[in-house]
Structure 1
Amino acid sequence: MIESPRVCVQVQSVYIESQSLPDENRYVFAYTISIRNLGRHPVQLLRRYWLITDANGREMEVQGEGVVGEQPHILPGGEFQYTSGAVLETPLGAMQGHYEMIDEQGAPFRVAIPAFRLAIPTMIN
């Protein structure tokens, strides 16, 4: 499966203090992802894959159909944005992964999602 420069992914993460329980090693993070179609043809996101790593080196893989219950079609110049979350046992971690997509001819391609940090604000200095 080829990598595609036609799709741009941007991520913003935030610590959710109100849902976290540090005394119980529960740290909740939300992340908002923007997927932009920079190409000249529609694309569709079919599957996702995530590798989530906490500060202890514990890894968790998450994969499945679509994102937040959708397999969005993204028109040329269009964008799809969604918010999801992750729960870690440490106040610092990272996520990375990829989306499996198809173009309008049904040809599959992969969009890499570079690693991004999940961290409580006091850890980012």
Structure 2
Amino acid sequence: MSYWFCRMPAVGASGAIFGLVGSVAVFVLRHKDIVGGGKEDLQHIAHVIALNMVIGLLSNGIDNWGHLGGLIGGVAASWLIGPAWKHESTSRDGKKLFIDSAPMYKLLKNKRVPKQWK
């Protein structure tokens, strides 16, 4: 996004950090039951994003387009290929067994998929 929308595009690690933050947000949203609801986590993530975007708007030389692009990229990648665990059953020794139902598996449904992915 920096390349497309900024007069002086920048590169740096901050866009990647925003991507990781977006990825964590998707993970927490998908696995609310595993992470204990996730409401506080999502509020913290929203505060971090908002604070950094405001700092970027108030400071020269900070590329918010890069931050926004990283955030969107992290959310999109995590939604598509990130884990989407669903409780399938419980083993004899009491351990919960999960299956991964990330959207990429549905996209690959008509393709030849290794058995361990199903």
TM-score (norm. length: structure 2): 0.28
Higher strand share: 1
